Amino acid sequence: MLRLSNINTFYGPSQVLQDVSLEVNKGEIVCLLGANAAGKTTTMKTIFGLVRARSGSIIFNDRDITRKATDAIVSSGLALVPEGRRVFSRMTVLENLEMGAYTRKSKAEFKSDLEHVCEIFPRIKERLKQVAGTMSGGEQQMLAMARALLSRPSMVCMDEPSMGLSPLMVETVFETILRIREEGKTIFLVEQNASMALKLADRGYVLQTGKIVLSDTAKNLLTNDLVRQAYLGGA
């Protein structure tokens, strides 16, 4: 469904991604693990055209999106839940959700999609009129996820959804990710919380200083020595 082949991304003269190749198949949850500064967010940004790969290709649903504009990528069915949630903090929850649906014109469709996301995220339903910036970190994460779903994506990319959340909220976020998958969506997840991500994912990749150094089923990664030492606290 999504395939990155030999992606090389630079910020000015410094190369951040080196020959990154990975794929996510329909219906899968795939995670990308890596330490701080490994290049996880840069991978997401490259997929969405927020930074441009200098070489390599990105194919989504058999279409080459390597040089497409971000809004065209989103319209083609790929949604991003960005790092740090990035909700529009001065807007209300409802206005944030409307922004997520900007690719669609029909008000009736928006209404029924809104009802649907309120079912998945009950906390949002209670808070539609609240100013988004006054919500807790966990609530803002839910809002960012709900907003992404309103573009009716077939695949959702999430950049560190557990970052800065309490253990209980992390559980809720991960349960919600499973629920989203049950709705038939494919999920690509970037995470530093390797133990949670690998419990949820089907497969995973490990990124070290911009290179994919390991790729396996989540089950095998959980018992892999390198993963255990570097990302699971040697557990």
- Does residue 16 bind ligand ATP (CB under 6 A)? yes
Give the CA radius of gyration of the chain.
Answer: 17
The long-range contacts involving 49-53, CB below 8 angstroms and separated by at least 24 positions, are: 49/73, 51/9, 51/11, 52/9, 53/7, 53/8, 53/9, 53/17
Selected from 6, 27, 37, 217, the binder of ligand ATP by CB under 6 A is 37
- What track of x and - describes contact with ligand ATP for positions 143 through 182 (by CB under 6 A)? ----------------------------------------
- Does residue 224 bind ligand ATP (CB under 6 A)? no
With beta carbons less than 8 A apart as the criterion, state whether 227 and 206 touch: yes
- Does residue 49 bind ligand ATP (CB under 6 A)? no
- Does residue 193 bind ligand ATP (CB under 6 A)? no
Taking the complex as a whole, the smallest distance from the CB of residue 39 to ligand ATP amounts, in Å, to 4
Residue type, 34: G
Candidates 33-41, 60-68, 69-77, 106-114: pick the segment binding ligand ATP (CB under 6 A): 33-41
Minimal CA–CA distance to 196: which of 177, 180, 181? 177
Selected from 103, 154, 192, 208, the binder of ligand ATP by CB under 6 A is 192
Measuring CA to CA, how many Å separate 56 from each of 7, 19, 31, 52, 136? 4, 8, 21, 10, 39
The answer for residues whose C-beta is within 8 angstroms of residue 177's C-beta and 6 or more apart is 29, 158, 161, 187, 189, 200
Which residue's CB is nearer to ligand ATP, number 75 or number 209?
209
Taking the complex as a whole, the smallest distance from the CB of residue 97 to ligand ATP amounts, in Å, to 26
Selected from 40, 68, 127, 185, the binder of ligand ATP by CB under 6 A is 40
- Does residue 11 bind ligand ATP (CB under 6 A)? yes
Give the total of residues touching ligand ATP (CB under 6 A).
11
Which residue's CB is nearer to ligand ATP, number 32 or number 142?
32
Among the residues of 10-67, which ranges form H helices?
Answer: 40-47
Q: Sheet of 186-191: strands edge to edge?
A: 78-81, 155-159, 186-191, 29-34, 203-208, 211-217
Taking the complex as a whole, the smallest distance from the CB of residue 221 to ligand ATP amounts, in Å, to 17
Which residue's CB is nearer to ligand ATP, number 42 or number 96?
42
Per CB under 6 A, residues contacting ligand ATP are 11, 16, 34, 36-42, 192
